[in-house]
Structure formats: structure tokens, C-alpha cells
Amino acid sequence: MFRNTLFTSEAVSCGHPDKICDQISDAILDEFLRQDRESKVAVECFITNNLLVIGGEAHSHADVDVIGIAKKILTEIGYDGTNGFDPESAVFLNTLHEQSPDIRQGVDRITEAEQGAGDQGIMFGYACNEISGRYMPAAITLANRTMFVYDTLRKAGKLPGMRPDAKCQYTLKYDEKGEAKVDTIVISLQHDEDIAFQTIYIYVTETILPEVMKVPQLAKFFADSSYTIFVNPTGKFVIGGPQGDTGLTGRKIIVDTYGGSCPHGGGAFSGKDASKVDRSAAYMARYIAKNIVAANIAQEVTVQLSYGIGLCEPISVHVDTVKPNYPNSEIEKMIKIVFPLTPNGIIKHLNLKYPNYLETATYGHFGWEGHSWEKTNKVKEIKDYFGE
């Protein structure tokens, strides 16, 4: 990872305006796929004040109540008309339309083997051994875990007076050996007008952070560390959610991935079915990187895949490694043999036609067990390839 430096990553709560849009987009996608596994969907949202616009394209036999889904998500997040958005009085605009036939002709082929990528682009995957078992960078893992804990406690009624919108930022200090400790935490939590700052500070220091530290792999980053905490640095955070800021699907792509520890291709994930390689190939790149590190082929791996719209095979496969046991060129050859890289191969191998994308729309797409791209079931094949 790093040495003799500071590194920072941020995360946001489920009530952050951008994350509201990601969740609505993925919930709509899930319903399309639940009714029709062959749905081709790219749905995005824009939210501000008491207005939500749903747009994008879809080709499907499904009949989806997109506005009903949006209202359900907003209510589950905790927006009730008193804290930044009112699902009952808001204006909802649905502008979803049929997918362009020019795009579809490259995706729908005679045989599944000929299915082309839904767009051109570059996708990155990353893994490192900084956190045992997770193969994720520490800063983004800590930030996402903190927001997960905050939302869980808030929804359970254990943080009275706290509202849905929140964000946090972790800065880690790395020593000459590359070992990290928490240096600074910045956390901003939306709250009711009558909640005192001291109450919020106590929530953070005595309830939220102790819960984060219950995860053994994360607790070590707090040990022997005199870190600084900034809670609501402006002094007040009452106006939040869509009332305080507009939200857009796909605007938290670094939060969704690795917190800036590796490059990002630029394509967002939420609202897109797996024929869009922006999403599916990014999942495959993570799967590849994680299995390589789990196989002890390298301590840190960045995988880049590139595709052309309508083309089946990737244009390029590139890896960048730290302390590899083999040349990068040999690792790239192994990837092409061991891992399926065509759009249909990725979809089949990672089982990406099933509706569980809403689970990915908050707290990051990577590092959480249960997703197919987080499995390390290619370790043996990788070791066999290299004769280990």
C-alpha cells in the first residue's frame, strides 16, 4: 500500500442525495430482472427539494411501477417530510423510454456466445492484503463500515434526533513499514434542530465508533492511535438530503469502489444491467484481482479490462502488481485462460441476471461477503496454472 504518508477515503450514508438515487435506480433494475431476466436496463435518477426525475432506457417484458418503488425506497431510508424530502407530496417524473435499437443490436446476438458489450470503456478491479479476509484498502473499508453502523443504529431508533443524510472521511497514517493507524476522522451527521452538538459527539465517540471497532480486522487501526475527530465541523447540519443538495445516480463512483486506492474507469454501476460492462466487467476485474491476491501471487493487484461496444472479447487485459511472484505479462496470460472475459461469460460465471443489486447501492460494491465477485474459488486454478 503506502509508506510514510497520509491517505484519505470517504463514504456516505444511505440518505445522502446521490445514494438515494443509486438505491432507487438499483431497486428499479431489480424489479425489471425479477419479472424478466433478459431485461436490458439503464436507469438514472435526479433528486432535489421535492422533485424526483427517473430517466433512462429499458427493453423488457416487465411492467414496473418505478414511482412506487422510488417512494418505497425513500420511506425505508427514513425520509418522512420533516427531514429533507416528502414522498407523499413530492413531484415524481418518469421519463424511462425504450432502449435504442442501435445499442441493442450489439447486445442481442443469435447465440449467447456472440453477445457483445453494451458499451465501450475501461474497467478496473483491485485487491490488496491490508485487511485480512477482505482484500480491501483500509480507509474506504473503515468509512463504509462507519456509515453502515450509523444507518443501522439510526433506523433502529438508537440515535434519537439523527436524520438520514451523513458522510464521513478517514485519513490513515502509514509508517515506514507500511502499517497504518487512524489519524483523522471527519464525520457530518444530519440532525434535528433541537439536538445539541455534545449529544451528537457522544453518539459518535461512545456508540458509533465502538461498534465499528467490534470488527477485529478494523479495530487494529484504532489501537495505539491518538486520532483526531471532527464532528459536524460547520457546527450545524439540520438542512440535508435533497433539500440541502441535489442527488444523481452514479456520482459516488469512488465511494462505490476502492476509495481512490486505484484508478477508476469513469463508468457508474447503479441502474445498469449486466450487459453493461461498466458494471459487470468491473465486478469481474475485482474477482480476478481478489483471487490473485488470495492465491499469494502478488500482495496488491490492479486489473484493467477494456471493451468495445458490440464486441465479445476484451480489447485489452492489463495488470499492475506489487511484489508479484511472476511477471505481469505472465499474470495477464493466466487471466485470459482462467477467467471468462466475454460479456456473456462474465454474466454466467458471476450469476448477474438475478435481482440483488439494491444490496450493492450503499456502503460500496466490494469487500462485503455474499456477492459472487467476492468469492475466492479460482485460487486453485491460478496456483495450478503456475505449477504451485
More confident residue, 316 or 98: 316
pLDDT of residue 112: 54
More confident residue, 226 or 207: 207
Tell me which of 207, 241, 275 is where a domain ends.
241
The set of cell numbers assigned to 185 is: 476522522
**Residue 231 confidence (pLDDT) above 90:** yes
Are 10 and 167 a contacting pair, CB within 8 Å? yes
**Residue 101 confidence (pLDDT) above 70:** no
Letter string b/e over residues 326-361, b meaning 16 or more CB atoms within 10 A of that residue's CB: eeeeebeebbeebbebbbbbbbebbebeebebbebb
For residue 246, tell me if it sits in a domain. Answer: no
| Same domain, residue pair 125 and 270 | yes
| Same domain, residue pair 125 and 142 | no
The set of cell numbers assigned to 20 is: 438515494
Instruction: Specify the residue for cell string 444530519.
Output: 190
For residue 111, tell me if it sits in a domain. Answer: no
Residue range 231-251: mean pLDDT, rounded: 96
pLDDT of residue 23: 98
Residue 293: domain span:
121-129+251-385
| Same domain, residue pair 230 and 258 | no
For residue 359, tell me if it sits in a domain. Answer: yes
| Same domain, residue pair 46 and 90 | yes
Tell me which of 241, 259, 289 is where a domain ends.
241
For residue 112, tell me if it sits in a domain. Answer: no
| Same domain, residue pair 192 and 322 | no
pLDDT of residue 1: 76
Q: Which amino acid is at 282?
A: A
The set of cell numbers assigned to 126 is: 483491485
| Same domain, residue pair 260 and 237 | no
| Same domain, residue pair 227 and 256 | no
What does DSSP say about strands 180-191 and 228-231: parallel, antiparallel, or unpaired?
parallel
For residue 63, tell me if it sits in a domain. Answer: yes
**Residue 383 confidence (pLDDT) above 80:** yes
Model confidence pLDDT, tens digit, residues 189-222: 999 999 999 999 999 999 999 999 999 999 999 9
Model confidence pLDDT, tens digit, residues 20-53: 999 999 999 999 999 999 999 999 999 999 999 9
| Same domain, residue pair 156 and 200 | yes
235, 257, 290 from 188: Cα distances, Å: 9, 21, 32
Residue range 271-287: mean pLDDT, rounded: 96
- Considering only CA atoms, which of 14, 144, 150 is closest in space to residue 78? 14
Are 12 and 147 a contacting pair, CB within 8 Å? yes
pLDDT of residue 202: 98
CATH for 273? 3.30.300.10
The set of cell numbers assigned to 275 is: 450487459
Three-state secondary structure along 81-111?
Answer: CCCCCCCCCCEEEECCEECCHHHHHHHCCCC
For residue 180, tell me if it sits in a domain. Answer: yes
| Same domain, residue pair 373 and 263 | yes
Residue range 57-85: mean pLDDT, rounded: 96
pLDDT of residue 109: 52
How far is 236 from 306, CA to CA, in rounded Å?
A: 45
The set of cell numbers assigned to 223 is: 489501537
pLDDT of residue 376: 97
**Residue 110 confidence (pLDDT) above 50:** no
Total domains in the chain come to 3
Task: Classify the phi-psi angles of 235: left when phi > 0, otherwise alpha if psi is within -120 to 50, otherwise beta.
Answer: left
Are 23 and 77 a contacting pair, CB within 8 Å? yes
Residue range 295-309: mean pLDDT, rounded: 96
For residue 29, tell me if it sits in a domain. Answer: yes
Q: How confident is the model at residue 319 (pLDDT cuts 50, 70, 90)?
A: very high
| Same domain, residue pair 95 and 199 | no
How far is 322 from 39, CA to CA, in rounded Å?
A: 40
| Same domain, residue pair 320 and 354 | yes
Model confidence pLDDT, tens digit, residues 140-185: 999 999 999 999 999 999 999 999 999 999 999 999 999 999 999 9
Average pLDDT, the chain: 94
Adjacency order of strands within the sheet including 228-231:
5-12, 162-174, 180-191, 228-231
For residue 116, tell me if it sits in a domain. Answer: no
Q: How confident is the model at residue 286 (pLDDT cuts 50, 70, 90)?
A: very high
Q: What is the DSSP letter of 221?
A: T
Can you list the positions of beta strands (E) in 19-78? 40-48, 51-59
| Same domain, residue pair 230 and 270 | no
